[in-house]
Chain A
Amino acid sequence: MTANPAAVDTVPLSRGRDAWRRRRAPATLVAAGLLLPAILFLLVFFLVPAVALLGYGFLTNRADGSSGLPLTLAHYQHFFGTPLYAHVLFTTLRISLATTVAAVLLGYPAALVMARNGLLSAAVTLIVIAPLVVSVVVRTYGWQLILGNGPQGLLNWTLMSLGVIRTPLRLLYSETAVVIGSLHVFLPMMVLPLAAALGKIDPRLNDAARMLGAGAGRIFWRITLPLSVPGLAVGCGLVFSLTAGSYVTPAILGGPAGQMLGNLIEQQILAVYDWPFGAAIATVLVVIVLAANLLSMRLIERRGAVGRQARQPA
Chain B
Amino acid sequence: MMTGTTSRFSLAVTAATLLFILLPLAVTVAISVSDTPFVTFPPRGFTLAWYGKVLADPDFLASLRLSLSLAAGSTAGALLFGVPAAVALQRCDFRAAARRPASCCRR
Total cross-chain contacts (CB, 8 A) = 131
Interface pair B25/A38, CB less than 8 Å apart: no
Stretch at the interface among A24-32, A48-56, A293-301: A24-32
Whether A154 sits at the interface, judged by CB under 8 Å, is: yes
**B residues within 8 A CB of A21?**
103, 105
Given contacts A146-B24, A217-B6, contact A27 B105 (CB under 8 A): yes
Per the bound structure, the CA–CA distance linking A183 and B23 in Å amounts to 13
Q: Whole-angstrom distance between the alpha carbons of A146 and B11 in the complex? A: 24
Interface range on chain B (Cβ under 8 Å from partner): 35 or more
Contact count band on A: 35 or more
Docked complex: A1-35 residues within 8 A CB-CB of B: 17, 20-21, 24-32, 34-35
* B38 CB to nearest chain A CB (Å): 8
The answer for the CA separation of A134 and B101 in the assembled complex, in Å, is 45
Which of B3, B13, B105 is in CB contact (< 8 Å) with A109?
B13
Main secondary structure of the interface of B (DSSP, over half): helix
Given contacts A37-B80, A37-B85, A109-B14, contact A138 B28 (CB under 8 A): yes
Is B25's CB under 8 angstroms from A139's CB? Answer: yes
**Residues of B contacting A267 in the complex (Cβ-Cβ under 8 angstroms):** none
Interface residues of A, dominant DSSP: helix
Task: Decide if B102 is an interface residue (CB 8 Å cutoff).
Answer: yes
List the B side residues contacting A112 at CB < 8 Å: 2, 6, 10, 14
Q: Considering the complex, which residues of chain B in the window 90-104 have a beta carbon less than 8 Å from any beta carbon of chain A?
A: 91-92, 94, 97, 101-104
- Quick check: A216 and B2 within 8 Å, CB to CB? yes
Any chain B CB within 8 A of the CB of A187? yes
Check B4–A38 contact: CB distance below 8 A. Answer: no
A/B interface sample: 10 pairs, CB < 8 A: A20-B105, A27-B91, A27-B104, A29-B102, A31-B94, A38-B82, A112-B10, A187-B21, A217-B5, A220-B6
* Chain B residues close to A by CB (< 8 Å): 1-7, 9-14, 16-18, 20-25, 27-28, 31, 38-42, 80-82, 84-85, 87-89, 91-92, 94, 97, 101-105, 107
